[in-house]
């Protein structure tokens, strides 16, 4: 009987605990929104009152107006689509090439021993420095931009995924060998599936890296894309164009990142 | 050299072909720093359907013996035979259970149980039905579509056993298959293992550092020397008890005598590292 009468009291405590959690979550969300709002308001007010030079730093209302008018003329979607497309192709292809290269290195210890210093060198070069080379080879084209995006993500992928392959539990490989598995079976039945989390982690890193590659590429060669808008806006001193492009760029990059996170959750759910 | 060969030979039922045979095997590992002899002139025989346990100090080459029989490594010299055939690589004769259950977390229990058949390209409607029947028989039927993370340690080890048995091996190698489990689960799983092995009529070679477990489960206990390993002595286990199961056998009056004899053998060799906890557990 004692436990019966104790129950409601315990559950009330638990309720209090849950509501304190909810309160905390509320505080966090409200504070986050307030910071953003305060920043925007302060920026706008400071520009209007002349505390800062609106010609140099622009102001939220103008940046917004610029974005809206671009959207009306349909240009915005062209530029957004360009940047998103180049980035998506860049990180997908970069990740795939990186995984294939990692498989080759895993397949042959000798090959990975031989290539080790070259990979270290490739990893340490700032890939952005290769931009002019891609332009000479591929012309001032979208292909050159994508090459840039791939170049910047592929070496990191090779290193991350190869390390992941090597960290697969040796007992799991041994188990497969006791069944008489071939090297190809070891790759397909244990090494690749066990490394799926590593490959997704590489994809996550590559989303950000490929975007850097794409924007640098657009700075150098393009006639469309957010990188182009930023450079163009800078050249003609249209800071509202620059600011609205930068804001759009940050929104796009966050959305891409969440996209990959959603993919990760979906994959992990099937793994029980 | 009191001769590992003839000690093992004493128990050889003679004439009958052995299920596992190692004949004067040397195993030497090479690294940049040194070469190490893991096994020196090691010989042993296991008769069909016999359950043999190997105990020895850590690092004496117990696991090397299993890897040789499984065909994962080749002896430096000497010969290894399974079911009358010289071992040249992994074969369908042998099933190997490791210390960890090594279930793949991205496969369901059924998917894990079918792993060996998949590798050997032997997945057929019949073989799948056999595996499902085994899962049912071992109390895993309703979990066949669950992922390993939802199973207890004992159930996982049983699933690993089904995976091993699915390829219909004649010889089963157990590499401390219970050491990763807590003590209570360990006793339960040893009962299951014992019952299943006997029911399937398998030849078993089990490596362990737990003397009690070795006596409770096997027909014969081989004691290995420190590295380089060879068979020091062989103890045929005859226990008088009502229930011939690992737990029942622990109650036999002879149990303690065997334990003490084997323990003495191990400690006579210097320090019997890794065997001390076994005393506390009996």
Out of A171, A180, A194, closest to residue B98 by CB: A171
Confidence bin at B1 (pLDDT 50/70/90) = very low
Report the interhelical angle of B183-200 vs B153-165 (nearest 10°).
Answer: 20
* Cβ distance of A171 and B89 shorter than 8 Å: no
Q: Which residues of B touch A175 (CB under 8 A)?
A: 96, 98, 102, 115
Domain boundaries, chain B: 4-93+169-185+196-281, 103-168
Share of chain A above pLDDT 90, in %: 72
Q: Which residues of B touch A194 (CB under 8 A)?
A: 104, 106
Task: Over range B229-243, report the average pLDDT.
Answer: 85
* Cβ distance of B98 and A190 shorter than 8 Å: no
**Predicted confidence (pLDDT) at residue B8 exceeds the cutoff of 80:** no
Q: For residue B44, give the nearest of B68, B71, B73 by alpha carbon.
A: B68
The residues near B78 (Cβ < 8 Å, ≥ 6 apart) are B22, B23, B24, B25, B26, B41, B42, B43
- Chain A closest-CA separation from residue B10 CA (Å): 31
Say if residues B46 and B205 touch (Cβ distance below 8 Å).
Answer: yes
Residue B9 confidence (pLDDT): 40
Residue B270 confidence (pLDDT): 53
Residue B254 confidence (pLDDT): 85
- How many C-beta atoms surround the C-beta of residue A164 within 10 A? 21
Rounded to whole angstroms, how far apart are CA atoms B158 and B177? 10
User: What phi and psi, each to the nearest 5 degrees, are found at residue A241?
Assistant: -65, -45
| Cα radius of gyration rounded to whole Å, chain B | 19
- The chain A residue lying nearest B69, using CA atoms, is A178
**Predicted confidence (pLDDT) at residue B99 exceeds the cutoff of 80:** yes
**Predicted confidence (pLDDT) at residue A1 exceeds the cutoff of 50:** no
DSSP three-state, residue B220 = strand
Confidence bin at B178 (pLDDT 50/70/90) = confident
Share of chain B above pLDDT 70, in %: 89
- Chain A closest-CA separation from residue B224 CA (Å): 24
Rounded to whole angstroms, how far apart are CA atoms B214 and B217? 6
Rounded to whole angstroms, how far apart are CA atoms B108 and A213? 41
- Chain A closest-CA separation from residue B101 CA (Å): 9
* A-B Cβ pairs (cutoff 8 Å, strict): 59
Residue B269 confidence (pLDDT): 59
**pLDDT tens-digit series, residues A161-182:** 999 999 999 999 999 999 999 9
Neighbour-count burial for A198-217, b at 16+ CB within 10 Å, e otherwise: bbbbbbbbbbbbbbbbbbbb
Domain boundaries, chain A: 2-52, 60-269
Q: In what order do the strands lie in the sheet with B231-236?
A: B94-97, B171-175, B203-208, B51-55, B220-224, B231-236
User: What phi and psi, each to the nearest 5 degrees, are found at residue A23?
Assistant: -60, -45
Confidence bin at A9 (pLDDT 50/70/90) = low
* Backbone dihedral region for residue A234 (phi beyond 0: left; psi -120 to 50: alpha; all else: beta): alpha
Tell whether B127 is within 8 A of chain A (Cβ): no
- Chain B closest-CA separation from residue A266 CA (Å): 13
Rounded to whole angstroms, how far apart are CA atoms B95 and B163? 9
**Predicted confidence (pLDDT) at residue B14 exceeds the cutoff of 80:** no
Q: Which residues of A touch B93 (CB under 8 A)?
A: none
Residue B11 confidence (pLDDT): 45
Say if residues A232 and A244 touch (Cβ distance below 8 Å).
Answer: no
Peptide bond into B205 cis (omega under 30): no
Distance from the first to the final alpha carbon of chain B: 32
Task: Over range A35-57, report the average pLDDT.
Answer: 92
Task: Over range B20-31, report the average pLDDT.
Answer: 90
Rounded to whole angstroms, how far apart are CA atoms A130 and A133? 5
Confidence bin at B67 (pLDDT 50/70/90) = very high
pTM of the model: 0.81
Say if residues B180 and B153 touch (Cβ distance below 8 Å).
Answer: yes
Residue B138 confidence (pLDDT): 85
Give the CATH superfamily of A60-269.
MetI-like (1.10.3720.10)
Residue B199 confidence (pLDDT): 83
**pLDDT tens-digit series, residues A213-222:** 999 999 988 7
Q: For residue B20, give the nearest of B77, B76, B87, B73 by alpha carbon.
A: B87
Task: Over range B86-108, report the average pLDDT.
Answer: 90
Q: What is the distance, to the nearest Å, from the Cα of residue A111 to the centroid of all Cα atoms in its chain?
A: 30
Q: What is the DSSP letter of B80?
A: E
**pLDDT tens-digit series, residues B152-169:** 888 898 899 899 999 999
Residue B272 confidence (pLDDT): 44
Share of chain B above pLDDT 90, in %: 35
CATH of domain B4-93+169-185+196-281: 3.40.50.300
Task: Over range A111-131, report the average pLDDT.
Answer: 91
Report the interhelical angle of A226-235 vs A75-107 (nearest 10°).
Answer: 120
Residue B137 confidence (pLDDT): 87
Q: Which residues of B touch A172 (CB under 8 A)?
A: 102, 104
CB half-sphere exposure, B8, CA atoms < 13 A? 25
Give me the residues paired with residue B171 across strands.
Answer: B94, B203
């Amino acid at each position: 009987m004692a436990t019966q009468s104790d129950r409601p009291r315990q559950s009330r405590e638990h309720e209090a605990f849950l509501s304190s959690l909810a309160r905390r979550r509320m505080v966090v969300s409200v504070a986050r929104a307030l910071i953003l709002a305060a920043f925007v308001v302060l920026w706008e007010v400071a520009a209007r009152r002349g505390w800062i030079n609106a010609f140099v730093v622009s102001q939220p209302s103008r940046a917004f107006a610029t974005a809206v008018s671009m959207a009306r003329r349909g240009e915005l979607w062209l530029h957004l689509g360009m940047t998103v497309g180049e980035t998506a192709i860049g990180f997908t292809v970069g990740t795939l090439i990186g995984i294939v290269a990692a498989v080759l290195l895993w397949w042959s210890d000798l090959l990975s021993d031989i290539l080790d210093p070259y990979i270290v060198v490739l990893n340490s070069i700032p890939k952005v420095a290769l931009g002019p080379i891609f332009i000479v080879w591929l012309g001032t084209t979208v292909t050159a931009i994508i090459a840039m995006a791939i170049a910047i993500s592929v070496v990191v992928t090779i290193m991350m995924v190869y390390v992941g392959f090597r960290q697969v539990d040796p007992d799991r490989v041994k188990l497969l060998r006791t069944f008489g598995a071939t090297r190809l079976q070891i790759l397909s039945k244990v090494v690749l599936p066990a490394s799926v989390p590593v490959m997704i982690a590489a994809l996550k890193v590559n989303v950000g890296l490929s975007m850097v590659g794409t924007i640098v590429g657009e700075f150098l060669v393009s006639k469309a894309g957010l990188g182009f808008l930023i450079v163009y806006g800078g050249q003609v001193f249209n800071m509202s164009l620059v600011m609205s492009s930068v804001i759009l760029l940050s929104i796009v990059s966050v959305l891409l990142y969440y996209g990959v996170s959603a993919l990760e959750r979906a994959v992990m759910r099937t793994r029980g | 050299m009191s001769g590992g060969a003839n000690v093992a030979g004493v128990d050889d039922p003679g004439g009958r072909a052995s299920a596992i045979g190692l004949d004067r095997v040397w195993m030497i590992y090479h690294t940049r720093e040194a070469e190490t002899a893991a096994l020196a002139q090691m010989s042993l025989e296991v008769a069909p359907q016999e359950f043999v346990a190997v105990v020895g100090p850590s690092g004496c080459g117990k696991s090397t013996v299993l890897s040789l029989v499984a065909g994962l490594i080749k002896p430096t010299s000497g010969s290894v035979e399974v079911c009358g055939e010289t071992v040249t690589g992994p074969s369908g004769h042998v099933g190997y259970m490791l210390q960890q259950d090594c279930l793949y977390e991205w496969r369901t229990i059924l998917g894990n149980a079918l792993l060996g058949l998949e590798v050997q390209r032997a997945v057929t409607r019949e073989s799948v039905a056999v595996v499902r029947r085994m899962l049912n028989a071992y109390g895993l039927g309703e979990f066949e579509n669950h992922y390993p993370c939802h199973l207890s340690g004992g159930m996982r080890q049983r699933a690993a056993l089904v995976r091993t048995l699915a390829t219909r091996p004649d010889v089963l190698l157990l590499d401390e298959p219970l050491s990763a489990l807590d003590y209570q689960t360990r006793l339960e799983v040893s009962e299951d293992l014992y019952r299943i092995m006997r029911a399937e009529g398998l030849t078993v070679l089990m490596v362990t550092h737990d003397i009690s477990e070795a006596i409770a489960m096997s027909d014969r206990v081989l004691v290995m020397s420190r590295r380089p390993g060879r068979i020091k002595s062989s103890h045929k286990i005859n226990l008088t008890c009502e229930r011939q199961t690992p737990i029942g056998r622990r109650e036999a009056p002879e149990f303690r005598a065997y334990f003490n004899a084997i323990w003495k053998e191990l400690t006579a060799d210097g320090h019997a590292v890794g065997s001390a906890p076994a005393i506390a557990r009996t």
